[in-house]
Amino acid sequence: MPPLVLYKIPFIGHTFSYLFDCKEFLKQCRKEYGDIFSLYIWGQVKTFVGKEHAHEVLARDDAFDFGIVAVRKLPIDAMFVNGFGDSRYNIMAVKEYISKKLELYTERMQESLHLSIQRYIGKCEEPKVHDHLYKFLSKVIAAPIANIFIGESEEIITTFAEFTSSLFIFYAIPPVLDFVYPGLQDYVNRIPVRLGLYDPSARQRSMLIKHIKNQVDKRLREKQEYQDSWKRPNDLLQDFIEEKLFDPNKPNYNAIADKMAFFIFASIHTTSRASTYVLIDLASRPEYIQELYEEQLEIHKETDKNGILPIEAFNKMNKLDSFVKESLRLNENIAGLSHLTLKDYTFSNGLQIPKDHIF
């Protein structure tokens, strides 16, 4: 088993050091106990895996599950009848329905992003102030994501942009009740949602269901009407409609909305947060701006087709790629990226972790 770092205050364990001095505290623990060690936080023993072994956790999805822990704090089961789906299905869907089709989506995403920037920034003849960069970027990013998920409309873009932040309130509640019994805080957080007293994402969810119903009915009707001349919409919604379990005679709009909600949850917040970090890093390191700008000009000169770049052009943006990766490396909260062990696991350094343990 990984060594448990010594602590002085019973019950509280390492909670305060983790909460108020996380970076330095984890650095010190790693120095004294090695790359893998356990801490006693919020009434539970949690194991931390350092950079030498973290790749094992990320690569072995047969042994470690990210999804279960990531959504445990959210009362998803009380809000979404079908939960947030199964990790394996979600990973398959990202690969088959999104990653493999990126070539098909690149042009649309660029056009949509361009329109979105025009809408929210415009020509900027007069200076504009956006005092909440993350919220502003979520709106910009929601447009191309909505475009490839479900087709765009003003209403649905706003729903996409607001959906994740409406759920984040649950991440902000400190799990103090877990000191009494592990998991008690999550249980208590669900009570007002279950009783129908509080549901921060209710408006966005009903908007999503309404939009999905309109789209599904329209697509089924038009397919019937136009037969062979029907033009298949290319987006995630259409992929869901064409799955074996979908019954065109009795569409389950709520089930599709639940599936879609997971993808909105996984994509908008991560992309908006990463873009916010990158922009702040760029603004605070102006010495890189000219070099990155020149790389963009060069690639546009070589590959631009009527203002649209082919997918291969993105692979040539080496300097931008390094800048973004470095920003992600420095800013992402890797210690908070919890996983659950699905089976007993032995790390390459010989340390063993039992099933159902949280990382």
By the criterion CB under 6 A, which residues form the site for ligand HEM? 58, 66-67, 87, 90-91, 94, 98, 263, 266-267, 270-271, 274, 337
Spatial separation of the C-alpha atoms in residues 201 and 350, rounded to whole Å:
44
CB of residue 71 vs ligand HEM: minimum separation in angstroms? 8
Please identify, using beta-carbon distances, which residue of 40 and 84 lies nearer to ligand HEM. Answer: 84
CB of residue 332 vs ligand HEM: minimum separation in angstroms? 6
Please identify, using beta-carbon distances, which residue of 59 and 117 lies nearer to ligand HEM. Answer: 59
CB of residue 344 vs ligand HEM: minimum separation in angstroms? 19
Buried b or exposed e, range 286-324, using 16+ CB within 10 angstroms: eeeeeeeeebeeebeeeeeeeeebeeebeeebeebeebb
In single-letter form, the type of residue at position 358 comes to: I
The alpha carbon dihedral of 333, 110, 91, 58 has a sign of negative
Spatial separation of the C-alpha atoms in residues 144 and 183, rounded to whole Å:
37
Spatial separation of the C-alpha atoms in residues 15 and 7, rounded to whole Å:
10
Please identify, using beta-carbon distances, which residue of 18 and 84 lies nearer to ligand HEM. Answer: 84
Helix, strand or coil for residue 4? strand
Please identify, using beta-carbon distances, which residue of 274 and 292 lies nearer to ligand HEM. Answer: 274
CB of residue 176 vs ligand HEM: minimum separation in angstroms? 26
Spatial separation of the C-alpha atoms in residues 220 and 213, rounded to whole Å:
11
Please identify, using beta-carbon distances, which residue of 5 and 145 lies nearer to ligand HEM. Answer: 145
Spatial separation of the C-alpha atoms in residues 204 and 358, rounded to whole Å:
31
In single-letter form, the type of residue at position 352 comes to: Q
In single-letter form, the type of residue at position 103 comes to: E
CB of residue 262 vs ligand HEM: minimum separation in angstroms? 7
Please identify, using beta-carbon distances, which residue of 12 and 94 lies nearer to ligand HEM. Answer: 94
Spatial separation of the C-alpha atoms in residues 336 and 342, rounded to whole Å:
18
Residue nearest to ligand HEM (CB): 67
Residue 147, both tokens: 């475009």
CB of residue 76 vs ligand HEM: minimum separation in angstroms? 12
Please identify, using beta-carbon distances, which residue of 90 and 166 lies nearer to ligand HEM. Answer: 90
Q: Which of 149, 117, 102, 134 is nearest to 264 (CA)?
A: 149
Spatial separation of the C-alpha atoms in residues 264 and 149, rounded to whole Å:
9
Please identify, using beta-carbon distances, which residue of 49 and 193 lies nearer to ligand HEM. Answer: 49
CB of residue 6 vs ligand HEM: minimum separation in angstroms? 29
| Euclidean distance between the first and the last CA atom of the chain, given in angstroms as a whole number | 13
Spatial separation of the C-alpha atoms in residues 164 and 301, rounded to whole Å:
38
Report the relative pairing of strands 44-49 and 340-341 from DSSP bridges.
unpaired
CB of residue 270 vs ligand HEM: minimum separation in angstroms? 3
